[in-house]
């Protein structure tokens, strides 16, 4: 991954461009010309006043790419300020694997609305003043800002958004089938544009429950998905499903809309 030595930088409140949805047609992501510029990704005091979104373990803040003036999002851990890329290793891995499943799904479905999975890039904070939620040298994830219509399509504990169509549930089912029951792509979230789905921050549940970090709920996540999943015309009847026998001795987890994290 190129550009891992670049740094998100702090600047004055008035110097940021207007917040706008990332333009994928005009700009490539990840940036093809990201060459380690230590001041490329920026944020400011106004953007840092409150997070754009908060989860159980992480906060997301607005920023921008100073070369393109495109709005981006910086994600950080709510507790601690890790300075090593390894803390984001499972996120990067899950995004890479999810992108491969999406590409296979697009090839299979030949839909007019393909799925794009955004791959985050790792960055290191530099030049932040006192009062900032970010610390000097802190390692963060940078993603393009997808706009205000961001939606959760399903979770990693079986929750399903029934108001967003059927493509995302079919993608989750497809991932289970194509991986021969070893993995389930879930916790799908992002935006549904007129010509594509754009997803970020996916989760993969693996059969071992150990491959993708604290959000990998293993077979328990798979069981909850299939207990609630109703196949549609997008799901091929030949696709593999988890059998009742497989699910019988798997521990239960609560079904929630948010992301489920395993206890350490």
Domain boundaries, the chain: 7-88+120-144, 151-247
| Residue found by looking up tokens 């803040």 in the block | 61
Higher pLDDT, 153 or 163: 153
User: Per-residue confidence at 180, pLDDT binned at 50, 70, 90?
Assistant: very high
Task: Give bridge partners of residue 124 from the DSSP assignment.
Answer: 7, 139
Instruction: State yes or no: pLDDT of 74 exceeds 90.
Output: yes
- Beta partners for 126? 9
CA dist 120 and 88 (Å) reads 10
Q: Which of 120, 166, 114, 184 lies closest to 146 in space, CA to CA? A: 120
- CATH of 151-247 among 3.30.413.10, 3.40.50.10470, 3.30.470.20, 3.20.200.10: 3.20.200.10
Q: Tell me if the pTM is above 0.75.
A: yes
Per-residue pLDDT, 14: 53
At 264 the pLDDT is: 60
Residue 2, pLDDT > 60, answer no
- Report the pLDDT value the prediction gives residue 37, as an integer from 0 to 100: 73
Return the number of other C-beta atoms located less than 10 Å from residue 48's C-beta: 20
Evaluate if residue 235 carries a pLDDT over 50: yes
* Cβ pair 140, 120 in contact under 8 A: no
Confidence check: pLDDT of 60 > 60: yes
Task: Give the confidence band of 61 by pLDDT, cuts at 50, 70, 90.
Answer: very high
User: What is the pLDDT confidence band of residue 51, given thresholds at 50, 70 and 90?
Assistant: very high
Average pLDDT across the chain, whole number: 91
Tens digits of residue pLDDT in 163-177: 888 999 999 999 999
Q: Between these two residues, 46 and 263, which has the higher pLDDT value?
A: 46
Residue 3 has pLDDT above 50, yes or no: no
Question: Model confidence at 254, in pLDDT bands (50, 70, 90)?
Answer: very high
d(CA 229, CA 171): 12
Selection from 219, 207, 209, 224 nearest residue 155 by Cα = 224
Query: Does the structure show a pLDDT above 60 at 82?
Result: yes
Q: What is the 3-state secondary structure (H, E, C) of the chain?
A: CCCCCCEEEEECHHHCCCCCCCCCCCCCCCCCCCCCCCCCEEEEHHHHCCCCEECCCEEEEEEEECCCCEEEEEEEECCCCCCCHHHHHHHHHHHHHHHHHHHHHHHHHCCCCCEEECCCEEEEEECCCCCCCCCCCCEEEEEECCCCCCEECECCCCCECCCCCCHHHHHHHHHHHHCCCCEEEECCEEEECCCCEEECCCEEEECCCCCCHHHCCHHHHHHHHHHHCCCCCCCCCCCCCCCHHHHCCCCCCCCCCCCCCCCC
Residue 11 — pLDDT band, cuts 50, 70, 90?
Answer: low
């Amino acid at each position: 991954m190129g550009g891992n030595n670049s740094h998100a930088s702090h600047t004055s409140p008035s110097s940021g461009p207007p917040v706008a949805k990332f333009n994928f047609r005009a700009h490539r992501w990840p940036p093809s010309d990201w060459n380690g510029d230590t001041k490329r990704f920026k944020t400011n005091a106004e953007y840092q006043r409150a997070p754009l979104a908060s989860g159980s373990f992480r906060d997301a803040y607005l920023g921008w790419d100073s070369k393109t003036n495109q709005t981006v999002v910086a994600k950080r851990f709510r507790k601690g300020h890790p300075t090593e890329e390894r803390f984001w290793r499972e996120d990067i891995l899950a995004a890479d694997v999810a992108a491969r499943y999406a590409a296979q799904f697009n090839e299979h479905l030949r839909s007019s609305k393909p799925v794009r999975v955004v791959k985050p890039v790792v960055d290191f904070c530099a030049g932040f003043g006192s009062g900032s939620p970010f610390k000097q040298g802190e390692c963060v994830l940078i993603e393009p800002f997808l706009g205000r219509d961001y939606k959760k399509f399903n979770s990693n504990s079986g929750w399903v958004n029934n108001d967003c169509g059927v493509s995302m549930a079919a993608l989750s089912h497809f991932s289970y089938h194509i991986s021969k029951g070893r993995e389930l792509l879930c916790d799908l979230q992002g935006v549904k544009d007129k010509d594509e789905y754009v997803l970020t921050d996916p989760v993969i549940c693996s059969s071992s429950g150990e491959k993708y970090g604290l959000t990998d709920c293993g077979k328990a996540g798979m069981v909850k998905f299939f207990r609630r999943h109703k196949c549609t015309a997008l799901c091929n009847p030949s696709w593999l499903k988890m059998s009742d026998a497989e699910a019988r001795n798997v521990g239960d987890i609560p079904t929630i809309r948010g992301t489920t994290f395993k206890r350490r």
